[in-house]
């Protein structure tokens, strides 16, 4: 048998060498077409997984601080007319009328219970009755504050020793109760280390406050003083509710800013043509919707232009207007 020429073998070998390269080129072209065809669907799918939605809700946003306040009220102390035991008749924290019997002083030294002398104690004026006196009633009075500098008030409070009354035993001239005039608006003395309050509080300014019972009122700033470590505020209440008479100190919440309305995350805001708006999904397409900012506190914003329950995109940096959201 005759052998094939060597030259033919080289041609066959050359054809086998080129054929795999053509397959690679074809496979690469098909892959590129597939990538180009699937790019946008895959991108939209990935974006849809990263995009987070929030729900607009109706809320009240407040910028406030919790502080301890000292109450300065119109108070009249009633002292015991004699040594003895004080028997109360009127209810603590209750209203009393002028001349109403509050209780009796049962004098000491009586031979028998039946022979004990009972001296009636009457209310000298109308108001709220409290059996909790502390010795500051005649020192801190609203009508004296006009003649007292705020430094003087601070000195009185720090130096005055509070008196604790141990009823029912008492002695002549000792305080047994007091009448609080609830028709005279009280003052609140606030001493805090929150130095940042200076930018919120100015003399003559009105501030909203909330008391422990949840009731709210307004106060007018009377005096403001700042020291190295303290910030002192004296405010006068306007139409304050009846507060706890068992203590002179109570926590109050000072409210500097308050906004009520539809609330969204501040991070969701997107500027377009110098106007504020948010991204929402409309028929699975990202669209921009204009809103108006009414006020912001912290990371939340009250806006108009969205309805309660309407969804918006919280992280707009992950998506563009017109992009499909699967």
CATH number at residue 312: 2.40.420.20
Beta strands of 174-319 (E only): which ranges?
175-180, 187-192, 206-210, 216-226, 231-238, 249-265, 270-272, 275-282, 285-290, 292-297, 300-304, 311-313
Pairing between β-strand 53-55 and β-strand 206-210 as defined by DSSP bridges:
unpaired
Give the residue from 183, 198, 223 where a domain finishes: 183
pLDDT for the residue numbered 116 = 67
Q: What are phi and psi of 310, to 5 degrees?
A: -75, 140
Indicate whether 57 and 113 sit together in one domain.
no
- Is 98:126 a contact under the CB 8 Å cutoff? yes
Indicate whether 147 and 84 sit together in one domain.
yes
Task: List per-residue pLDDT tens for the chain, 326 residues long.
Answer: 455 555 544 444 444 444 557 667 666 666 666 555 555 565 555 566 678 999 999 999 999 999 999 999 999 999 999 999 999 999 999 999 999 999 999 986 655 555 568 899 999 999 999 999 988 888 888 877 766 667 777 777 766 655 666 678 888 999 999 999 999 999 999 988 876 777 788 889 999 999 988 888 999 999 888 876 788 889 999 988 888 888 888 999 999 899 999 999 999 999 999 999 999 999 989 999 999 999 999 999 999 999 999 999 999 988 889 988 87
pTM confidence score: 0.71
Indicate whether 107 and 177 sit together in one domain.
yes
Domain CATH code at residue 115 = 2.40.50.100
212 located within any domain = no
226 located within any domain = no
Indicate whether 92 and 170 sit together in one domain.
yes
- Tokens representing 322 are 């017109």
pLDDT for the residue numbered 16 = 47
Give the residue from 183, 203, 234 where a domain finishes: 183
155 located within any domain = yes
Give the residue from 183, 206, 221 where a domain finishes: 183
Q: Give dist(CA 279, CA 194) in Å, integer.
A: 39
The structural domain count of the chain equals 2
pLDDT for the residue numbered 13 = 46
pLDDT for the residue numbered 18 = 46
22 located within any domain = no
34 located within any domain = no
Indicate whether 58 and 152 sit together in one domain.
no
- Tokens representing 236 are 């006068």
Q: Domain span at residue 144? A: 75-183
pLDDT for the residue numbered 19 = 55
């Amino acid at each position: 048998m005759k052998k094939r020429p060597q030259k033919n073998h080289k041609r066959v070998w050359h054809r086998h060498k080129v054929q795999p390269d053509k397959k690679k080129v074809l496979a690469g072209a098909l892959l590129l077409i597939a990538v180009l065809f699937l790019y946008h669907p895959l991108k939209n799918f990935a974006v849809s997984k990263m995009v987070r939605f929030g729900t607009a809700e109706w809320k009240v946003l407040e910028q406030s601080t919790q502080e301890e306040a000292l109450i300065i009220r119109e108070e009249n102390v009633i002292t015991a007319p004699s040594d003895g035991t004080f028997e109360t008749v009127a209810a603590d924290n209750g209203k009393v009328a002028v001349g109403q019997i509050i209780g009796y002083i049962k004098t000491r030294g009586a031979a028998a219970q039946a022979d004990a002398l009972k001296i009636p104690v009457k209310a000298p004026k109308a108001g709220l009755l409290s059996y909790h006196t502390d010795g500051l009633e005649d020192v801190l009075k609203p009508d004296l504050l006009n003649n007292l500098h705020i430094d003087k008030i601070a000195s009185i409070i720090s130096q005055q020793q509070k008196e604790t009354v141990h009823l029912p035993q008492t002695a002549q001239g000792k305080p047994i109760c007091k009448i609080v005039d609830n028709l005279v608006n009280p003052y609140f003395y606030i001493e805090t280390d929150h130095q940042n309050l200076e930018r919120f509080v100015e003399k003559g300014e009105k501030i909203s406050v909330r008391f422990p019972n949840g009731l709210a009122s307004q106060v007018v700033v009377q005096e403001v003083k700042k020291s190295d470590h303290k910030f002192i505020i004296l405010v006068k209440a306007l139409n304050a509710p009846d507060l706890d008479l068992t203590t002179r100190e109570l926590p109050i919440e000072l409210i500097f800013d308050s906004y009520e309305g539809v609330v969204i995350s501040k991070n969701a805001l997107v500027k377009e043509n110098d106007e504020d708006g948010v991204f929402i999904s409309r028929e699975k397409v990202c669209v921009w919707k204009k809103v108006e900012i009414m006020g912001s506190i912290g990371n939340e914003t009250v806006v108009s232009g969205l309805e309660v329950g309407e969804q918006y995109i919280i992280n707009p940096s992950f998506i563009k207007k017109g992009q499909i959201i699967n």
